[in-house]
Amino acid sequence: MRDNGITKDQLVQEVEDLRRRIAELEKFETDPKWAKGFQRESEEKFFLAFKHAPLMAAITVLEDGTYLEVNDRFMDVGGFRREEVLGKTSIELGWLRGEDRQRVIEAIQRQDKVSGLEITSYAKDGRPIDCLYYFELVTIGGVKRLLTMVLDITESKRTKVALQQAHDELEQRVAARTEELRQANKELQTEIAARKRVEQSLREHEYRLRLITDNIPAHVCYLNQNRCYSFVNRYYAESYGLPKEAFIGKSYRDMVDEDYYLENHENVELAFSGRLISFEAPIFLPNADKRWVMVNYVPDYDPQGNVHGIFVLRYDITERKMAEAGLQRLAAIVESSDDAIFSKDLEGIILSWNKGAERIYGYSIEEIIGNHISVLFPPGYPEEVSQFLKTFAQGESIDHYETVCIRKDGVLIDISLTLSPVKDATGRIVGAATIARDITERKRVEVALSKSEEKYRTIIENMEEGYHEVDLMGNFTLFNESARKMTGYEREELLGMNYRSYADEGNIRKIYPIYNQVYRTGEPVKNFEWQIIRKDGALRDIEVSLSLIRNVEGHPTGFRGIVRDITDRKQAEKLREELEARLRRAEKMEALGTLAGGVAHDLNNVLGVIVGFSELLLYDVEESSPLRPGLVNILGGSQRAAAIVQDLLTLARRGVSDRYVLNLNKIIVDGQNSAEFKNLSAYHSSVKVKTDLEPDLLNISGSSVHLSKTLFNLVSNASESMPKGGTLTIKTSNQYLDRAIQGYDEVREGDYVVLSVSDTGEGITADDLKRIFEPFYTKKVMGRSGTGLGLAVVWGTVKDHHGYINVQSEEGKGSTFTLYFPVTRGEITAEDVALPLSEYLGKGETILIVDDVKGQRDLAEEMLKKLNYHITSVSSGEDAVVYLKEQKVDLLVLDMIMDPGMDGLDTYKKILEIHPRQKAIIVSGFSESERVKAAQSLGAGAYVKKPYIREKLGLAVRKELDRIK
């Protein structure tokens, strides 16, 4: 079928070719002599293609396998000469082994054509060659022969992908070529009856040729006498990014790059002179880097023996050239290396030797080649040498193995060896490559350094200060025991840890500029302070002196530091400052109290006269008298002044003479119902008041009058701090403190009733917070909002009740005043008892109390004895475990926090190992924690929060004893 893109000139040319072929056919039919010449010409072309085929090819006698003809490729690969091959069989040549020859015979007997039979052949020198065989019975000169085409796939088998590609391509090429040869042979022996049959045969021939060439992974083209393209294959055209039609009729010079043409056009002319040309050349293809190609120019002769064109075949050999260049570079590196690089076979015989080996071992290449590697080892090392040979014979490598060798002059040297197996093309291990480095000097230095390091390590490890080294990224590379203890991490955890892992963001920002300064200037920085976070979460203040570490070339490699833990010192300084501030406050309050007492005494005398006479005058003045309003104002003002004097007297007395057992909840409720509170609420109507009162609040000892005044002052201050409205919260709770709390005041351990008054107002500045309890210190407008004595009275009242006060405030976010009053164990009156005693009275059960604080043990013991229980108490978890190994109890009252020693959870776990169903309740002064919940998950009952309330403790004990477990 004619191509739709054919030009007019091409159409004319095809018509002329057709006419010429018709004339030849007519001559073929009428001139037997010419027909015979035509046949001979076809056979010559066949043998020309056979001879220059890129595959190994052979024609053999079918009956006995005697070689009649082989091509040049067969002799190149097998290493045979033509006279050695012809007349011989493959068995006689050693090309095939007996079993493989039998496989071939059986395959041919089954079918006329055999494709892709994989057989191992052997070259003249015995070298195995993996081959892919293609067999076909053909008729040549009227006699059936066996045409064999062989592809060397030795290299291709190295990779599965390359093998598959080569196999597919070879199968296509062999199949197409075999079909072409079979068809050509058939055409030679068959009379051409008509012009159409000949024309059809020629078209089929041309199609098969194009099919073969288009699928060969090589550049294939044909140049006519004018050095213009008559044909290019698909691979050629695609390499230039053009369709095949773009080349036809174009000059060879116009289509290749200029450098390639100038360097190789003489070869083209030599090919046109009749010479077979083969060479390697670089070429630049469009959109590609430089490529190397193997070029073959094959002359094409006409019947008269003149060259009327050449076939051009180019194979891409870039990868091979790169490999060769790499080998050359590798050889140069090996030869110039300071290390000894040599190779040996499986027996240990040295095969190669570089200059580095001559320098290290003292042997020249002429002296050492052919010797056994044992000459490089001193006497007494035969077992080590034997192990080396065994290791690389098994395909294993040896990396940086240190041993002792002996030089030619008998000097012993320390050597670091690296051995790698060497394999041949089939993957079989044939020897080993060795790299040897002289480390004698390094070993000497290492020994000296080791002694020096041991000396300094001993010093560093025994330092009280922490010593550490980090790399430039801040990762630990060295540290002593003191440094490890400061962080709380184990050695394995600390090694490699970054300093950012045990510091917060603020301290990281603080220390980073210090590291940067030391790195930039190289100057050490001494005694800078920052804070670390230990593994257990505790904060520690440290003082560090930092300097730079440099290597032998002087380049920075890291930092070293001397560290001192100054936490105790900082805490002591802080405590001293706080104690000094408290002392100054106490002295100031004492002085102000004394002053206020004196002033109050004098004012009281003066005000007594004013109030007395005002009352007398009012009795004598009529209601309608114009003097009466003035007298009323004088009396009211003097009474308000008297209230202020009373505050001064409260501040001055610093002692409550009348003490009663009180419940703070009742004082709060009564206060809210008082006229003063109602007036305050009416005046500050935008303030919402909330209460959160502990239902089982313990009692305190004190004065209800003073406490009511304190509550009113706190509520008044909170209300005035919220001019635009807000929320005021009054809260009470029971709290047991296991340890002191540091705040505005130091709250010591014990049982407390806690009162807190919180607001959402303007807050208090840090400077004002220091002075808020001083008398007459106020930010309010005098005469409108107060006298400045309100908080001073609160301070005095709290101290009179042996309590403590804490303040937390932030500008714009409100304030919280927290007051701690010691608990009293006075009897609760009948009306305050929520439940009858019978509800939680004991039945004589045994109870073990475990608490590390004696006062708490005594209190719980006294309460429970009165509830009819038999009580035993111990001071630690360890003592409880010992006691229960010999005794049994009905119930444990188990404190969760005990220091030192086991806490409640660990104690309960140990006791369960002795008594698996032991009942217990958990008590603590802190809120319910995860460890409390863990104890309850193991079987413990209720959690009772300290301080103890008899009713709450008794109910919890009774409930747990009655619980079925």
At residue 777, the pLDDT reads 53
pLDDT band, residue 612 (cuts 50/70/90): low
CA angle, 361 then 367 then 368, to 5° = 60
At residue 45, the pLDDT reads 61
Mean pLDDT in residue range 830-847: 75
At residue 657, the pLDDT reads 44
Identify the DSSP state of 871: E
Q: Name the 3-class secondary structure at 183.
A: helix
At residue 456, the pLDDT reads 66
At residue 508, the pLDDT reads 82
Size of the chain in residues: 965
Q: How far apart are CA 75 and CA 55, in angstroms?
A: 11
pLDDT of residue 512 exceeding 90: no
At residue 290, the pLDDT reads 78
At residue 286, the pLDDT reads 77
Mean pLDDT in residue range 46-50: 67
What is the token pair recorded at 742? 């540091």
At residue 959, the pLDDT reads 92
Percentage of the chain surpassing pLDDT 70? 78
Residue 588 is inside which H or E element, if any? helix 567-620
Write the pLDDT tens digit of every residue in 279-288. Answer: 888 888 876 6
Write the pLDDT tens digit of every residue in 876-912. Answer: 999 999 999 999 999 999 998 887 889 999 999 999 9
Mean pLDDT in residue range 768-793: 58
Q: How far apart are CA 612 and CA 602, in angstroms?
A: 16
Mean pLDDT in residue range 327-347: 77
At residue 440, the pLDDT reads 85
At residue 15, the pLDDT reads 45
What is the token pair recorded at 329? 């570079």
At residue 822, the pLDDT reads 92
Picking from 22-31, 354-363, 564-573, 916-925, which range would have the lowest pLDDT averaged per residue?
Answer: 22-31
Q: Which residue has the tokens 């086991």?
A: 902
At residue 886, the pLDDT reads 92
What is the token pair recorded at 827? 């009897």
Write the pLDDT tens digit of every residue in 582-598. Answer: 666 666 666 656 666 55
pLDDT band, residue 44 (cuts 50/70/90): low
Picking from 137-151, 175-189, 646-660, which range would have the lowest pLDDT averaged per residue?
Answer: 646-660
Write the pLDDT tens digit of every residue in 53-111. Answer: 777 888 888 888 898 888 888 888 888 888 888 988 888 888 887 777 777 777 777 77
pLDDT of residue 573 exceeding 80: no
Write the pLDDT tens digit of every residue in 427-479. Answer: 788 888 888 888 888 888 777 777 767 766 766 776 778 888 889 888 888 88
* Cα–Cα nearest to 137, from 145, 148, 129: 145
pLDDT of residue 30 exceeding 70: no
Residue 236 CB neighbour total at 10 angstroms: 24
At residue 304, the pLDDT reads 84
Q: Which residue has the tokens 């396998």?
A: 65
* Cα–Cα nearest to 773, from 913, 584, 921, 936: 584
Max Cα-Cα span within the chain:
176
CA distances from 172 to 46, 118, 166, 217, 236 (A): 19, 16, 10, 11, 18
Q: How far apart are CA 548 and CA 514, in angstroms?
A: 11
Mean pLDDT in residue range 513-535: 85
Write the pLDDT tens digit of every residue in 721-765. Answer: 898 889 999 999 998 887 777 766 778 888 899 999 999 988 887
Kindly report whether the peptide bond that precedes residue 900 is cis, defined as omega within 30 degrees of 0: yes
Write the pLDDT tens digit of every residue in 146-198. Answer: 888 888 887 767 655 555 665 677 677 767 767 776 776 676 666 555 456 65
Residues in Cβ contact with 274 at an 8 Å cutoff, skipping those fewer than 6 apart: 299, 301, 307
CA angle, 470 then 471 then 474, to 5° = 65
Write the pLDDT tens digit of every residue in 614-637. Answer: 655 766 777 778 888 877 777 666
At residue 640, the pLDDT reads 57
pLDDT band, residue 870 (cuts 50/70/90): very high
At residue 781, the pLDDT reads 43
At residue 274, the pLDDT reads 87
Mean pLDDT in residue range 947-954: 78
Q: Where are the beta strands (DSSP E) in 317-361?
A: 340-345, 350-353
Bigger pLDDT: 847 or 772?
847
Q: How far apart are CA 357 and CA 342, in angstroms?
A: 7
Sheet order of strands, 525-533 included: 476-479, 466-471, 556-565, 539-550, 525-533
Kindly report whether the peptide bond that precedes residue 421 is cis, defined as omega within 30 degrees of 0: no
Helix %, strand %, coil % of the chain (to 5): 45, 25, 30
At residue 884, the pLDDT reads 94
